């Protein structure tokens, strides 16, 4: 999407994705205004004083607020044309222990985003989802599935208003908070890496790839889509060996709410999914007439992926992501 002369708001704007999205928008486009909406005043202060953002102080705005607060969202969304919703509680073990907090942020927060966007005439809203939302077994995944459904159906809820809603679903982001990679980097110092299961696989994407994909999807969205990029898989044990070939490995077992393999598209969604060169589009409202229809029984999971990441590819990507 051409972000030139646009007023854009990013929820969770001080997080890993938010900062990279804003940095990319500043480097590649000339937006009219970029609003960073988040709860943490310290992170906002640190961001304001980071050179890459400090030199663009004339168009950056920092709003303290929580997606749980509908009144604050309505005020923040005044005059906004594009919303990128990246705010979420996403640590799987923490969400299992604090389930009501996950619901308040990930589900009620989604409802608040939708209402504020429609009320304030936002043109496009794109929400970040996760592979854990497909056939979820964790509370986090279940809240994100519910969030996805809310954003898709919000296109009908908007009635005759101009606001369009869509979602982007992708896998583990290299080097982001909560990723296993920073954990492994710390464990390398001890000489032993903990592995939950030798068979475990995951989808992998870099932070920059995720940001670029979101911007692309903003440009082609018509409302009601879940955009899924084609990205490689890798076994977690192979990831550990590529990062630390001389370390020992300790198998600790799968944690509560964790899957052996992740999914992004399963058989039921595949019936309404269109395939393109670099992505799949779960076309809930049948807005995209082009694209390839998927075969009966198709599923896109981290263990049946046709694209696998090699150790050398991983090292090359890691050099620019952590």
State the catalytic residues: 132
Q: Find, among 138, 126, 206, the residue nearest to 167 by Cα.
A: 126
Task: Name every residue whose Cβ is closer than 8 Å to that of residue 41 and which is 6 or more positions away in sequence.
Answer: 64
User: Cα angle vertex 58, ends 43, 15, to 5°?
Assistant: 25
Distance (Å, rounded) from C-alpha 117 to C-alpha 192?
Answer: 48
Q: How many CB atoms lie within 10 A of CB 127?
A: 28
- DSSP letter at 308 equals B
Q: Classify each residue of 24-46 as buried b or exposed e, where b means 16 or more C-beta atoms within 10 Å of its C-beta.
A: bbbeebebebbbbbbbeeebbee
Task: Name every residue whose Cβ is closer than 8 Å to that of residue 31 and which is 6 or more positions away in sequence.
Answer: 3, 4, 5, 6, 7, 8, 25, 59
């Amino acid at each position: 999407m051409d972000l030139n002369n646009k007023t854009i708001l990013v929820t969770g704007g001080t997080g890993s994705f938010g900062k990279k999205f804003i940095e990319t928008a500043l480097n590649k486009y000339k937006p009219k205004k970029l609003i960073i909406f988040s709860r943490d005043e310290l992170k906002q202060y640190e961001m304001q004083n980071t050179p890459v953002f400090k030199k663009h102080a004339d168009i950056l705005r920092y709003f303290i607020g929580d997606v749980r607060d509908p009144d604050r969202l309505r005020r923040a969304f005044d005059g906004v044309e594009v919303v990128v919703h990246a705010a979420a509680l996403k640590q799987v073990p923490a969400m299992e222990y604090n389930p009501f907090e996950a619901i308040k942020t990930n589900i009620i927060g989604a409802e608040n985003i939708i209402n504020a966007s429609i009320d304030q005439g936002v043109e496009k809203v794109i929400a970040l989802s996760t592979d854990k939302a497909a056939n979820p077994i964790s509370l986090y995944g279940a809240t994100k599935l519910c969030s996805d459904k809310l954003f898709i159906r919000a296109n009908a809820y908007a009635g005759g208003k101009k606001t369009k809603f869509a979602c982007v679903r992708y896998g583990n982001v290299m080097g982001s908070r909560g990723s296993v990679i920073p954990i492994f980097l710390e464990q390398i110092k001890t000489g032993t890496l903990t592995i939950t299961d030798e068979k475990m696989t995951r989808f992998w994407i870099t932070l920059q790839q995720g940001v670029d994909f979101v911007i692309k999807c903003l440009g082609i969205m018509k409302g009601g889509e879940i955009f899924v990029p084609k990205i490689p898989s890798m076994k977690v044990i192979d990831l550990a060996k590529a990062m630390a070939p001389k370390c020992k490995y300790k198998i600790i077992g799968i944690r509560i709410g964790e899957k052996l393999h992740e999914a992004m598209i399963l058989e039921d969604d595949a019936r309404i999914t269109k395939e393109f060169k670099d992505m799949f589009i779960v076309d809930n409202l049948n807005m995209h007439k082009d694209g390839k229809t998927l075969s009966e029984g198709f599923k896109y999971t981290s263990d049946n992926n046709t694209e696998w990441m090699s150790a050398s590819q991983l090292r090359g990507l890691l050099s620019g992501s952590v």
